[in-house]
Structure 1
Amino acid sequence: MTSGNDSYADKQLKAQASALLNSLAPAGWLVAAEQPARNGAVRVTSPDSETRSIDVIPCDGLRPRDVVGLPDPTRPTVVAATWLSPRTRELLAARQIGYVDLSGNVYLSIDRPGLAIRAQGAQRNPSPEAAQGPNLRGPRAWALQRTLAEVLPPYGVTELAAAIKADAGYVSRLVGALSDELLIGRVGRGPIDKVDWEPLLRQMTSTYSLLNSNATTGWIASAGPEQFLKDVATQSEASFAITGSFAAAELTSVAPPEIAVVFVEDPELLASLTNLRPARNGGNVVTARPYDDLVFDRTWTRNGMTFASPAQVAVDCLTGPGRLPAQGEAMVEWLRTNAPTWQADSLTEQPGLP
């Protein structure tokens, strides 16, 4: 997996990757260019002088689809780049290929001598190039990704476009971009026949967040958030869906919920119906005018309360403040354990819950 004719830029990239690995190695360890130089390999030396050679492969601009084309390593190998996307890093690690990017994302694991290094750098490209394809930002792209995660394939582009009320050509371009990220699978231009729902949900968190993507308002429920949710369940005038920690607590438990978060089209109406008071700071209720009406699709009901779909709850928690990200990880584990019970069998059906 090495090249004997590196350009000057490749040599510089390898040298920087080697220096970054050395700076992150535990005390007493040394990571340095192998001498005499052997195609940019580095040598790892432990405190007791045990050594191991590691190939360093410059692959700037490596995309998820490119990872599949890399040959299987026959010895410890790391890819070096100026920046690698989260999906690219995930796929490299799954193939037991390490990585180092100059923003500080690092993964290296060797058994002899035993050394593991993992560090997190930039999650978005610090120096993005001009976009070459469709942008995965925006409500329609978000709606498509959530639909793909929540509905079991197969289905075609035309069906998806109708389901999310979007132009078929636009959806086709988005599907192509998601295919390039290896988040979905299809043969040629045929129906989508595979969806990798977990990395797809995590991809959504890079362009969406609970408090920033929705129009949110803080309120105080004098009788507490639990009583507020009971009051909401008795209202028929306002459509709503509960998300956040109170929704997550119905399926999994990490920490006691404290703030009720409710998707609602008319927050002021709901506030008047449930006697909420505006909160200048803090509060125990958040109303969210939704980023997209899809938040009201594939909801589920328990004890008279309507909750956002489990996938929606997971993404909202992962992108929320305070304790919510930990609850989001617990929700992802619940989704993993209970798949595919929370997924619909078709674009026109509702899923069930265990």
Structure 2
Amino acid sequence: MESALIRESNLLDQGIHALSGLLGPEWQVTQRPNKSKVFDAALEVKAEGDSTFTQLLVEVTQAVPPRFVVERLVPKVELLREVNHYTNLLVVAPWISSQARDLLRQNGIAYLDLTGNVDIRVPRPAIIIHTVGAERAPRSVPRESSRTTLAGPKAGRLVRLLAEVRPPHRATDLHLTSGLSLPYVSRLLDTLEDQLLIRRKGRIIREVDWGQLLRARAQETSLLSHGSYRGFLAPNGVPALLQEIPRLSMEYIDGLAVTGSLAAQRFVQVAVGGQLVLYVAPWLDSDDVADELGLLPVADGADVLLLTEPDPFVRTGAEFVDGVQYVALSQAALDCLAGPGRMPAEGEALLDFMGSNPKEWRRATQNGGKPPSVQH
């Protein structure tokens, strides 16, 4: 308990220091005696030579999950406004996610995290500060040991199932369909509920915010880091290469799956062309694939990326078009959102398409959701 209090005290000190730096030398930030046991600290903020000041009641916390904002902070600030309309609530944390920041702004709650995400708006004296810091949690930010994150291949399986299959869901069904352990599924569902990505009634998942769920998963991973990849040049161009794939043996046809820009362009057109990103199944060797397709290894300017699939589940729901395998819509959206360059924009366009055309990709049951075999 003592070490936790020390960390909280240090976090408050760092928050006050950051706020003072943003306001500049002509402003004073003074910690006042905190008479309230509901908040962690009280700050007085005023410009030098001006008697007008504002009071900020501070909530210091190691984590700000969206559920914490809705269930804990919003009721606090509503009560605060009933008592004193001119007192403001400021949340100080090591890092605050974009979803939590949106909720805080919607409810008029100021925030400051130590990566530089700040939004403070006070009418009197007039203070408007808005800066953008880290979009992803730095490694230095402590995670709750009891929380399972959206990083890693296992989380990708559960995210795909929750997005693609319309609720209701039970943890036991998700466990059986995904091949993941029931304790892991239960822990990750707790995390998703904290982030307001799912809603449960009792033990049944009744709602899934699949768009935000896919975005949240993409923020925790990277297309080019969750599996090894190599860049190549197609001498005759990508369109000619796509015509070559169906001429390969079935071993190669089954083990190669298109994702990224070219998978998205089957449904949306943000731009023309782009790199061909191919998942390579574990029974294939990238060098052999390159030889079969006549690809030339290059250090820069690659128009083909051979990406070792991190989990066979990425091919779940894939379909063949003109003899070429393309990943499912939800996997393509995930990979684009987590990809480099213009790919995140293509991922957002794909999410818009998916929202308007749910019959193209969502299904009513989990039947068929098990991962393909890792052996050919």
Please confirm whether the aligned pair reaches a TM-score higher than 0.5, indicating the same fold: yes
> Given the alignment of the two structures, is residue 139 of structure 1 paired with residue 142 of structure 2, yes or no?
no
Change (3 A) 1:295 1:54: farther
Aligned positions, number: 339
Change (3 A) 1:216 1:82: closer
How big is the shift at 1:286?
0.9
Counterpart pick for 2:95 among 83, 101, 108: 83
Q: Match of 2:173, as an amino acid?
A: E
Counterpart pick for 2:346 among 298, 305, 327: 327
Quick one: distance in 1 between partners of 2:211 and 2:55?
Answer: 31
CA contact (8 A) 1:15 1:33 kept: no
CA contact (8 A) 1:214 1:289 kept: yes
> Given the alignment of the two structures, is residue 285 of structure 1 paired with residue 304 of structure 2, yes or no?
yes
How big is the shift at 1:292?
1.0
Change (3 A) 1:9 1:279: closer
Deviations 1:266-318 (A, max 9, x none): 24454344322333444211122211111111234556543222222222223
How big is the shift at 1:201?
1.8
> Given the alignment of the two structures, is residue 165 of structure 1 paired with residue 184 of structure 2, yes or no?
no
The match for 2:277 is: 261
> Given the alignment of the two structures, is residue 241 of structure 1 paired with residue 257 of structure 2, yes or no?
yes
How big is the shift at 1:42?
4.6
The match for 1:3 is: none
Counterpart pick for 1:40 among 25, 28, 42: 42
CA contact (8 A) 2:32 2:44 kept: no
> Given the alignment of the two structures, is residue 223 of structure 1 paired with residue 236 of structure 2, yes or no?
yes
Change (3 A) 1:236 1:299: same
Change (3 A) 1:236 1:152: farther
> Given the alignment of the two structures, is residue 69 of structure 1 paired with residue 72 of structure 2, yes or no?
yes
Give the TM-score normalised by the residue count of structure 1: 0.79
Change (3 A) 1:125 1:217: closer
Deviations 1:179-229 (A, max 9, x none): 2333222123x2221212233223322442211112322222111112212
CA contact (8 A) 1:10 1:58 kept: no
CA contact (8 A) 1:14 1:56 kept: no
Change (3 A) 1:15 1:33: farther
Which residues of structure 2 form unaligned runs of 5+? 35-40, 370-376
CA contact (8 A) 2:233 2:303 kept: yes
Which residues of structure 1 form unaligned runs of 5+? 1-6
Change (3 A) 1:192 1:50: farther
Deviations 1:218-276 (A, max 9, x none): 22211111221232245461223211122223333333333100113124454344322
Change (3 A) 1:213 1:155: same
> Given the alignment of the two structures, is residue 151 of structure 1 paired with residue 153 of structure 2, yes or no?
no
Quick one: distance in 1 between partners of 2:359 and 2:209?
Answer: 12
Q: Match of 2:227, as an amino acid?
A: N
Quick one: distance in 2 between partners of 1:299 and 1:110?
Answer: 52
Quick one: distance in 2 between partners of 1:148 and 1:161?
Answer: 12
The match for 1:93 is: 105
Quick one: distance in 1 between partners of 2:109 and 2:356?
Answer: 27
The match for 2:374 is: none
SS at the partner of 1:288? strand
How big is the shift at 1:100?
0.4
Change (3 A) 1:209 1:9: closer
Deviations 1:59-117 (A, max 9, x none): 21244232222215335432112333455434433433221012222123467758351
Q: Percent identity?
A: 30
How big is the shift at 1:131?
1.6
Q: Relative to total residues, which structure has the larger helix share, 1 or 2?
A: 2
Change (3 A) 1:110 1:130: closer
SS at the partner of 2:230? strand
Q: Match of 2:15, as an amino acid?
A: A
How big is the shift at 1:136?
4.3
SS at the partner of 1:40? strand
SS at the partner of 1:213? coil
Change (3 A) 1:54 1:277: same
Quick one: distance in 2 between partners of 1:305 and 1:23?
Answer: 56
Deviations 1:309-348 (A, max 9, x none): 2222222223223333333343344444545753222212
Give the TM-score normalised by the residue count of structure 2: 0.75
The match for 2:208 is: 195
